[in-house]
Structure 1
Amino acid sequence: MLHQKQLAFIGGGAMAEALLKGLLTAKLVEPQQIMVCDVAQSRLDYLRHTYNVLTTVNGCDAAGQADIVFLTVKPQVIDDVLVTIAPVMTPAKVVISVAAGITIDRIEAKLGKAPIIRVMPNTPVAVGAGVSAFALGQNARPEHGELATLIFDAVGKAVAVDEKAMDAVTGLSGSGPAYTFLFIEALADAGVRVGLSRQTALLLAAQTILGAAKMVVETGEHPAKLRDAVTSPAGTTIAGLHVLEQKGVRGTVIDAVVAATERSREMGQLHGK
């Protein structure tokens, strides 16, 4: 699907690097099919030397030569970017935006009939283990959904959603890595508290979270069923779970996701959502 397609990344930050690295690693494209545009020449030099991709400081040139245009810039500069590339956009070009809080309608208003795909990836795309929710614009067709799935499966998993769910996605999977890092840190601190070295405790904690998540994804079982399989009568696990339930950990996590979702909505409104 990406054979002989030219890709342009408008913005060469961490997300752009994670995506182009994933595409190259999966051998979906060759380096000469990718052009990155950024205002920082030092960043372009790094990407060119590291991945052998093409680079430019001219966003209009990059978008003009591309079949697929990635908007990998901060939301506060998105309007300037859209104005810059609008003259070279056509209905034949596909636009994939990862600009947080920027709606499809807002992009379509500037770029006309081009098919728009809005994506909310999370930071583990940097290690090929992210999850990315995407929504299609009114000019997009089913094959554009297949394109988004192909691209974002290269850096983890892709999930199609209605655009109205994007704030919830942000609150759960967008912010979720931070919640998980906090839990890993807490597990490691607990390990140190009961006598483990810091290095050993951190490794045990991180690998435990990784393994548990992999079991959920690969078995397809409900987490409660997997939890029950670990929980022996009058054993150690139920003693620990009892404390977590007493302290309201489940409700606290739910409240955190709700708060992050509400904040995402607020930020969208601030950016002209």
Structure 2
Amino acid sequence: MDMIGFIGMGNMGTAMLKGAKRTFDGSQIIFHRKSVDKMKELAEEEKVNYAMSNSEVVEKSKYIILAIKPQMFEKVIDEINDSLDNDKVIISLAPGFTITQLKEKLKAGRIVRSMPNTPAMIGEGMTGVCFDENEFDENEIDVINKIFEATGKAKKVDEKLMNSVVCASGSSPAYVFMFIEALADSAVKCGLPRKDAYEFVAQTVLGSAKLMLETGKHPGELKDMVCSPGGTTIAGVAELEKNGFRKAIFEATDACFNKCNNIK
């Protein structure tokens, strides 16, 4: 029975561990975190194993999920490198680091690069994944796919598009939450109780996204369905256009993309 190890138990690492529990038995999962009390608490809550060091996670696991921030990479690599070998499968969640760069840093030849997002916490994540299938056997590919599908949807993409995936789904939940907060605030200004405003807006965002995915209609077509001639919606849309709504999104995406390209 191959073990799945987690290094880095922030929001994303914890979300992926809890997702893995939907597909894999807890006895197959092991993790480490700095706080011993919190580590034991999570292990008891999820009925999984814990290790007293990152190197122990690596030693006991075949699949190692590196859910660490780019600025922590060098430190963690120093801790685990002596425990790595080419039988291990490294799954990196860090933005910006290419598979080639990771192979240069890690004493392991088989790397999976991925970019999940925080909706993975509730099993509604969207993950971009890339790896060379020729380096893995069918069972390993099946396990890799199951790890990501346990947290929502996953799509294999060419590695040259991974930084674009960061822009499309990795970072963008923050923008969506900002939109929800701003729209709810504006509804409160118009008299709607805050709790109701958040519920109305959040459900509308959820329903709108599902409508697009399930109908397959272009978002512009769905927007036009709401915009009656001379009506309230087109008046609001005109103000968004006048105030640079689309331009702000483009500039945020450019900033995110440029940051990905400059991570060392």
Q: TM-score, normalised by structure 2?
A: 0.90
2:226 is the alignment partner of 1:230:
yes
Letter in 2 for 1:126: M
CA distance in 2, matches of 1:74, 1:232: 46
2:31 is the alignment partner of 1:36:
yes
Letter in 2 for 1:70: I
Kept in 2: contact 1:136–1:145 (CA 8 A): no
CA distance in 1, matches of 2:141, 2:126: 15
Aligned counterpart in structure 2 of residue 82 of structure 1, from 60, 77, 87: 77
2:127 is the alignment partner of 1:122:
no
The equivalences for 1:16-95 within 5 A come to 16-24=13-21, 26=22, 28-95=23-90
Residue in structure 2 matched with residue 203 of structure 1 by the alignment? 199
Aligned counterpart in structure 1 of residue 175 of structure 2, from 156, 173, 179: 179
Aligned length: 263
Aligned counterpart in structure 2 of residue 148 of structure 1, from 121, 144, 148: 144
Task: List runs of 5+ in structure 2 lacking aligned partners.
Answer: none
Query: What SS does the corresponding residue of 1:100 show, helix, strand or coil?
Result: coil
Kept in 2: contact 1:171–1:259 (CA 8 A): no
Query: What SS does the corresponding residue of 2:24 show, helix, strand or coil?
Result: coil
Give, in angstroms, the shift of residue 184 of structure 1.
0.7
Q: TM-score, normalised by structure 1?
A: 0.87
CA distance in 1, matches of 2:71, 2:259: 16
Residue in structure 2 matched with residue 245 of structure 1 by the alignment? 241
Deviations 1:128-170 (A, max 9, x none): 2221112215873484555433222211221222222222222
Give, in angstroms, the shift of residue 58 of structure 1.
2.2
Deviations 1:69-123 (A, max 9, x none): 1112222232333333333333332111112333222321243453210111112
2:177 is the alignment partner of 1:192:
no
CA distance in 2, matches of 1:141, 1:33: 20
CA distance in 2, matches of 1:105, 1:153: 25
CA distance in 2, matches of 1:252, 1:84: 41
Letter in 2 for 1:6: M
2:154 is the alignment partner of 1:158:
yes
Kept in 2: contact 1:7–1:69 (CA 8 A): yes
CA distance in 2, matches of 1:107, 1:82: 10
CA distance in 2, matches of 1:232, 1:142: 55
CA distance in 2, matches of 1:56, 1:123: 25
Kept in 1: contact 2:88–2:108 (CA 8 A): no
Residue in structure 1 matched with residue 252 of structure 2 by the alignment? 256
**Runs of 4+ deviating beyond 3 Å:** 110-114, 137-149
Query: What SS does the corresponding residue of 1:224 show, helix, strand or coil?
Result: helix
CA distance in 1, matches of 2:187, 2:40: 43
CA distance in 1, matches of 2:141, 2:216: 23
- Which is worse superposed, 253-262 or 95-104? 95-104
Report the identity percentage. 38
